[in-house]
Amino acid sequence: GAGVSQTPSNKVTEKGKYVELRCDPISGHTALYWYRQSLGQGPEFLIYFQGTGAADDSGLPNDRFFAVRPEGSVSTLKIQRTERGDSAVYLCASSSRGTTGSDEQFFGPGTRLTVL
Amino acid sequence: GEDVEQSLFLSVREGDSSVINCTYTDSSSTYLYWYKQEPGAGLQLLTYIFSNMDMKQDQRLTVLLNKKDKHLSLRIADTQTGDSAIYFCAESMGPGYALNFGKGTSLLVTP
């Protein structure tokens, strides 16, 4: 596809359940980022992948959150034992990981997660 | 991360100029960005400025950076109703580093 895609676009779950959110980056982009945007806030960084490995996971709020990118393309963000406070829009971005210029991060439309 | 602060709301008349301000605290910021977010759409990069620059102009957009005061501004000339959106200021240390966003400024352009 031409841009970053995320599925599902909306996810409603019950407190305590497990959810998976998927991100398809722009083809050929080696860098992939996950952010979380709560209502009325700016996006907050969660985790950054360079290829298959998590280069920086300092933004993950606790051990209920985990993300993988096994083949260096599609990534899945996994949330265990969801809590109401996890309700937010989860954004994925990818970049070509160039070493010059701004290395623009291209954002997907997000997955809106609602935990009841 | 370090704080990035923005005013929350701005309302302007169509055809006027809009100025959105941002302050940041991280002195190691290398790149400063302006993103636009419209309802139902992803974040769109509008422009960025490298920390050793004072100004950057791109069509109707002018970015001013005062590194001493850690103040960034975005000026939109001849603002149109289609410019109504939320504008986010963000900073990072460069390629491969996470973006640190402000809370966003909601711009309303009235006819």
Question: In which order are the strands placed within the sheet that holds B61-66?
Answer: B4-6, B18-24, B71-76, B61-66, B55-58
DSSP output for B36-63 = EE-TTS--EEEEEEETT-SEEEETTEEE
Three-class DSSP category at B101? strand
Q: Which residues of B touch A106 (CB under 8 A)?
A: 42, 45
Three-class DSSP category at B96? coil
What is the distance between the alpha carbons of residues B87 and B78, in angstroms, rounded to a whole number? 17
| Residue of B26 and B104 predicted with greater confidence | B104
Q: Does pLDDT of B26 surpass 90?
A: no
The region that residue A97 occupies, defined by phi over 0 for left and psi between -120 and 50 for alpha, beta otherwise, is left
Q: Does pLDDT of A23 surpass 80?
A: yes
Query: Please, are residues B7 and B23 in contact by the beta-carbon 8 Å criterion?
Result: no
Three-class DSSP category at A43? coil
Q: pLDDT digit string (tens) for A57-78?
A: 999 999 999 999 999 999 999 9
Task: Supply the pLDDT for residue A102.
Answer: 65
Q: Does pLDDT of A107 surpass 70?
A: yes
Q: Which residues of B touch A48 (CB under 8 A)?
A: 96-98
Q: Which residues of B touch A89 (CB under 8 A)?
A: none
Q: Does pLDDT of A99 surpass 70?
A: no
Q: Does pLDDT of B36 surpass 90?
A: yes
Q: Which of A65, A8, A4 is nearest to A32 (CA)?
A: A4
Of A42, A95, A110, Cβ closest to residue B88: A42
Q: Does pLDDT of A47 surpass 70?
A: yes
A 47-86 residues with CB < 8 A to B: 48, 50, 55-56, 59
The gap from C-alpha B23 to its chain's centroid, in whole angstroms, comes to 10
Q: Which residues of B touch A44 (CB under 8 A)?
A: 101
| Residue of A50 and B42 predicted with greater confidence | A50
Task: Supply the pLDDT for residue A100.
Answer: 57
Interface contact flag, B98 A109, Cβ < 8 Å: no
Q: Does pLDDT of B48 surpass 70?
A: yes
Q: What is the share, in percent, of chain A residues with pLDDT greater than 90?
A: 86
Q: Does pLDDT of B4 surpass 70?
A: yes
Q: Which of B43, B37, B89, B46 is nearest to A3 (CA)?
A: B43
